[in-house]
Amino acid sequence: MNRQHQHGRRLLRLIAAAGAAALTLTAGLATPLNPAPQQAQAKADKNVLTVAVAQSVDSLSPFLASRLVSTSIHRLMYEYLTNYDPADNHAIPGLATKWEPSADKLTWTYTIRSDSKWSDGEQATAEDAAWTFNKMMTDDGAATANGSFVGNFKKVTAPSPTELVIELKKPQATMAALDVPIVPKHVWEKVGDFSKFNNDKSFPVVGNGPFILTDYKADSYVRLKANKSFWRGSPKFDELVFKYYKDNDAAVAALQKGEVSFTFGLTPAQAATLGTQKNIKVNDAPGRRFYALAVNPGAQAKNGQKFGDGHESLLDEKVRQALFMAVDRKALLDKVFQGHAVEGAGYIPPRFAEYFWKPSAGQVLSYDPAKAAQLLDQAGYKKNGDGKRVGKNGKPIDYRVLCHATDPNDKAVGQYLKEWWGDLGIEVTLNCLDNVTDPWLAGTYDLAFDGWSANPDPDFLLSIQTCGALPATPKDTGATDNFICDRQFDDLYGQQLAEYDTAKRADLVKQMQSRLYDTGYMNVMAYPNAVEAYRTDQIGSIETMPKAAGNIYGQDGYWSWWSAVPAASSGESSDGSSSTGVIIGIVAGVAVLVGAGAFFAMRRRSTAEDRE
């Protein structure tokens, strides 16, 4: 999964559709007047970029990982068949240089590049890709994280080292957006139980991405080194370190001291403070996440077995809608997010305009506490003599709300829920934990703060709300977000997956979001901005996605960390002369040069409406 803990999943890519040449960034911010702090000077012979993260790794196996930090790292370690251009999100070459369907679109042939090698020196081939997909198709453990991508696959073969053929059961519109890390067969075929193998015992880990994983300590750090033989070109930083901070304030303090180069997930107060400080740049851009309150609709497995202890009242759609209508989104935008977000409704943030959905005037569940109280009365949950709403068991309703101990938004919004739902006669108990995954998977909660990063293609985000994503049995994990199983939603999901007409598919995706909104399973309250900061005396330049107003952390690809230029070298070209521009892309073999001033002017416009 990739919940707010963090449900977010895929990253970013760049390069033009012809895509064989690497993007090169050679210009950046001015050289700092004062010496770089200790982080950049830690190793005189190496440029180290350290990223502060507030989330621990759930798994270093790409077959199991769901948290944003983990899937972000896998973007750096392994290539995918295709990538996304950050300018407009269209599919561009990755491990595959081109792809084409048969006339009936049931057979897709990918040409695998011949210039990608695994870090142990072996050639990356179509056989590696075929083995990866076949393992996911035949092993439930290997399908844990990304099984939805191969559920419609009939057969996958590699007729030659540079040819991959995927046969489908029915048309599938996501064949240029298979966000699955391709792993080396000669390494992974030795793995036994994929459901338990975390890929964290032997280093360096063999990969073919821009960085190679060299060291890891749970709840402490992940260390990677630049892959000097990466086919797009080696990253500019020699090492990349993700350093875990349980407390976001501690991460901000580390940035101020120069102990880390970058941090994200800033509160409005932190962003305001950092924005005034020397050698620190704050990036406040439309994000790619939604922030929601998820209802436990009754945890269940595919075999029909119920488990967990979600409150029975939440099985009633009127109750879910009442809770929905007792949340003042506009107040949360003003008082919690303080303008660094826009009001939520559907799953897809405004950043992805093609699939963004808003409820119609007659459909919108506006803030209306009086109407919410009426719905609860109609559902049979009335107040007792003490003014408390009473459940079917005669006991006052007290909802347990899972929240993330490291997320200040969860705690702040939770206090408002206590007030608003308290006025309805409902008690709220906030259960703020470092690890919300265990009770979530066990179904031992009533509601939970939730959030996922949307991808350019919405299929994965929609798949986690289908009946097919439920665990096989209560003992299994599955890929479900919060146990939703709605047949009408599933029918729409199947239709959008098979629809190649972009406009018709977008309409189906919007209908799916409308269905989730009406049923009240998921109250999407906001689309928070990506609010992050980095030291300009350590990082001279770095790519955002989208370029004009985008995020750095959690991209749909590896562009930010791969493109990052150390401050000491950001103003010089390789021959030592001063650089006057930024090569931002290669189109039909012609380099496109944009003046550095224009590039950074666009970057500064990235103050906007939604988030990471």
What pLDDT does 591 receive? Answer: 30
Q: How many CB atoms lie within 10 A of CB 390?
A: 17
Higher pLDDT, 372 or 14: 372
Contacts of residue 244, defined as CB under 8 A and 6 or more positions apart, other chains included, come to 53, 54, 55, 56, 219, 220, 221
CA angle 513, 519, 522 (to 5 degrees): 65
Mean pLDDT for the stretch of residues 583-604: 28
Q: Which CATH architecture has domain 86-188?
A: Alpha-Beta Complex (3.90)
> What pLDDT band is residue 605 in, cutting at 50, 70 and 90?
very low
Per-residue pLDDT, 577: 30
Non-local (6+) Cβ contacts of 458 within 8 A are 347, 348, 352, 355, 509
Higher pLDDT, 351 or 86: 351
- Give the per-residue pLDDT at 341: 97
**CATH class of the domain whose range is 291-528:** alpha beta
- Please provide residue 134's backbone torsions phi and psi, each rounded to the nearest 5 degrees: -65, -35
pLDDT mean across residues, the chain: 87
CA distance 585 to 582: 9
374-403: pLDDT as tens digits: 999 999 999 999 999 999 999 999 999 999
Indicate the pTM of the whole model.
0.83
Q: Does 120 score more than 80 pLDDT? A: yes
Please give the pLDDT value at position 569: 61
Which residues are CB-neighbours of 202 under 8 A, at least 6 positions away? none
pLDDT of residue 406: 85
Domain boundaries, the chain: 86-188, 291-528
Inter-axis angle of helices 369-378 and 317-325, to 10 degrees? 160
Q: Which region among 230-234, 442-446, 473-477, 607-611 has the lowest average model confidence (pLDDT)?
A: 607-611
Which pLDDT does position 478 carry in this prediction?
A: 86
* pLDDT 10s digits, 92-102: 999 999 999 99
Q: pLDDT of 284-298, one tens digit each?
A: 999 999 999 999 999
Which residues in 277-306 are b (16+ Cβ under 10 Å) and which e? eebbbbbbbbbbbbbbbbbbbbbbbbeeee
CB 207 within 8 A of CB 187: no
| Two structure tokens written together for 39 | 């982080």
Confidence of residue 89 (pLDDT cuts 50, 70, 90): confident
| Residue environment code for 546-557, b if the CB has 16+ CB neighbours within 10 A, otherwise e | bbbbbbbbbbbb
pLDDT surpassing 70 at residue 583:
no
Model confidence at 44, pLDDT cuts 50, 70, 90, reads low
Q: What is the pLDDT of residue 86?
A: 82
Helix intervals (H) in 469-549: 487-497, 502-519
